[in-house]
Amino acid sequence: MKALAGLGIVLSIVGCRVVQDTRSVVIMQPHEGTYLWISPESQNKLGSGGELQIYMDPHTHPEAKASFAKFTLGVGGQLPVHRHDRTEEISYFLSGEGVVVVVDEEGAEKEIPVGTGYVWYNPPGVWHTVRNTGPTPLSLVFVTVPNEKSGLLSYFRRVCAGPGEEGLVLSPEELEKLASEHDLILRSSGLHER
């Protein structure tokens, strides 16, 4: 403690948080966070939909520069083709088998097999999707930068609900408008369009 005091750092332990000046180091347990279902089969059955576990986002940690979440995609599930104009995503695959589909700068569609231990960086402006091609759920953790109130995880908080809860019902036009306001540009047709 004397060495730290000599550096002018004041530490105090409050529960599981270590406080340094006005910034906080956050430690969360595996079960913590907000659970949301994305495109579930029904209100009480996930099916091929996805489960999002939000650990950090602008709602819970507005001071953070990045958001962090875990996503699990059910067997046979696929995200809609989309892009983000200002958001970077970095994902680490925890388990399962899948395919990431992206369009390169020349407009060519590429399918890239992914599985446990793979890392996926997706820069702003790239059309992409991921689908589960394996016999078990496809699970990954991901970071989005920046962490903003009009960002990706805020969109999911608006339209999704937890297991057993009723989600927001929107027309396709309302959903597309809300998504685009949160830097989630949905592609209703093929990947090749820019």
Residue 137 belongs to a domain with what CATH number? Answer: 2.60.120.10
Structural domain that includes position 92: 31-185
Quick one: pLDDT at residue 174?
92
DSSP 100: E
Quick one: pLDDT at residue 23?
64
Q: Is the pLDDT of residue 148 over 50?
A: yes
The reply to whether 70 falls in a domain is yes
Whole-angstrom Cα distance, residue 194 to residue 192?
6
Q: What pTM was computed for the model?
A: 0.82
What pLDDT band is residue 114 in, cutting at 50, 70 and 90?
Answer: very high
Q: How many domains does the structure of the chain reveal?
A: 1
How much is the average pLDDT of 141-159?
93
* Listed residue (6, 34, 27, 28) closest to 157, CA to CA: 34
